[in-house]
Amino acid sequence: MSKYMELVEQVASTVVRENAIKVDTEGSFPEASMAALAEAGLLGLLSAKDVGGVGEGLRAGVDVVARLAQECGSTAMITCMHYCAVAVIERYGSESVRRDIAAGNHLSTLAFSESGSRSHFWAPVSNATKDGHGYRLNARKSWVTSANYADSYVWSSQPVEAEGPSTIWLVSRTSEGIQIPEPFNGLGLRGNDSTPITAESVFVPAAAILGSDGAGFDVMMGIVLPYFCLMNTACSLGLMQAATQRTAVHASGTRYEHMESALSDLPTIRAYIARMQCKTDMVKTLLYDAVAAIETGRDDAQLRVLESKACAGEVATEVLDLGMRVCGGAAFRKDVGVERYFRDARASGVMAPTTDVLYDFIGKAVTGMPLF
């Protein structure tokens, strides 16, 4: 086992596991889990070694998010969004922020989705205007994971003056004019604090631009999209793996005393569990093939990235439907612990690019049409 997997195993099997039910029940941010990940050096997993990070890449991010999701979907999603932001900051951010991230002192996230353009994150309607030695940002961001806890947001807006659909910024949470009006109260991933943020004339220095004015689309598609799609898939994978395991344990340990048999003695039940296992392994295979396609520069890498998230979003809901069915009334209550995964698994399909948008992209790609 790699060093980083030893570290994540240690954190996941202790503090993340111990806090997962409380985080879900209370809808509270997993502060203890994120502190433990920071302490273990895992917030700096993707940070370069020359700024004090672990120096790992996409494959490690996928591995870590999948393992965390087996215990707590919220912790996994917060980590996923942090790693997506770190991938951009590593490329364009200042050395001091990169060092803070590597040292575990800085949590970041993505603030792309907006009330105006909704899931079409590639087309922000918020604006940025020049003001002396810096810029002013105005926005209505609709969903920002870790909104109240991140130290910074990797933020999109329309360009200041350049051509192009967007510009990317690094915005401090404590900037004057940032407002986070209400706490997150979601169906699933209840601890991920994915809350709307408004920005009213928020001043950022010139150095806050990540990349150049107007070049946001390239940052979104070239850097963020592969990380987000594959780590989001990893989150779905971890949820499916844990749910399949819990379902199997419940089915083999639950008895019909009057028939002296277990739930798993029913062929129908075994077939449902087999389908859960097959679908989970299908997603795992596709996910790691996509990682390999990127690592080796294969021609189908972009298609694999899109397919992975589309399949994972769809299949995770199917697998968790099966888990709920197999575990019966015991799952409808919280006895088996499958319904938390059932709720958490529903988020992936509506996280942008949503499953339906991905099907549109994939359909365009295979019929030879441009994606945009």
Q: Cα separation of 154 and 228, whole Å?
A: 13
Map tokens 């209550």 to a residue.
Answer: 333
User: Using the rule CB under 6 A, is 365 a contact of ligand FAD?
Assistant: no
CA pair distance 236, 203, nearest whole angstrom: 37
Q: Is 348 an interacting residue with respect to ligand FAD (CB under 6 A)?
A: no
Q: Does 223 bind ligand FAD (CB under 6 A)?
A: no
Is residue 64 involved in binding ligand FAD (CB under 6 A)? no
Residue 179: CB atoms within 10 A of its CB come to 10
Chain-centre distance of CA 48, in angstroms? Answer: 21
Q: Confirm or reject binding of residue 356 to ligand FAD (CB under 6 A).
A: yes
Out of 81, 86, 251, 293, which residue is the one contacting ligand FAD (CB under 6 A)? Answer: 81
CB 21 within 8 A of CB 30: no
DSSP notation for 238-288: HHHHHHHHHHHHHHHH-EEGGGTEEGGGSHHHHHHHHHHHHHHHHHHHHHH
**Separation of alpha carbons 32 and 24, rounded Å:** 14
Site string for ligand FAD, 124-143 (x = CB under 6 A): ------------------xx
Residue 113 found at the interface with ligand FAD (CB under 6 A):
yes
Residues in contact with ligand FAD, counted by CB under 6 A, come to a total of: 25
Residue 144 touching ligand FAD (CB under 6 A): yes
CA 328 to chain centre: 29
Verify binding: residue 347, ligand FAD, rule CB under 6 A: yes
Is 318 one of the binding residues for ligand FAD (CB under 6 A)? no
Segment lying near ligand FAD (by CB under 6 A), choices 110-118, 269-277, 301-309, 334-342:
110-118
The stretch among 218-226, 256-264, 291-299, 345-353 that binds ligand FAD (CB under 6 A) is 345-353
Q: Give the C-alpha separation, 87 to 223, whole Å.
A: 7
Q: Tell me how far apart the alpha carbons of residues 269 and 322 are, in angstroms, rounded to a whole number.
A: 10
- Give min distance, CB of 110 to ligand FAD, in A: 4
Nearer to ligand FAD by C-beta: 118 or 298? 118
Two structure tokens written together for 114: 């907006």
Nearer to ligand FAD, 195 or 264 (CB): 195
Is 350 one of the binding residues for ligand FAD (CB under 6 A)? yes
Residues near ligand FAD (CB under 6 A) are: 81, 109-113, 118-119, 121, 142-145, 186, 189, 192, 194, 347, 350-352, 354, 356-357, 360
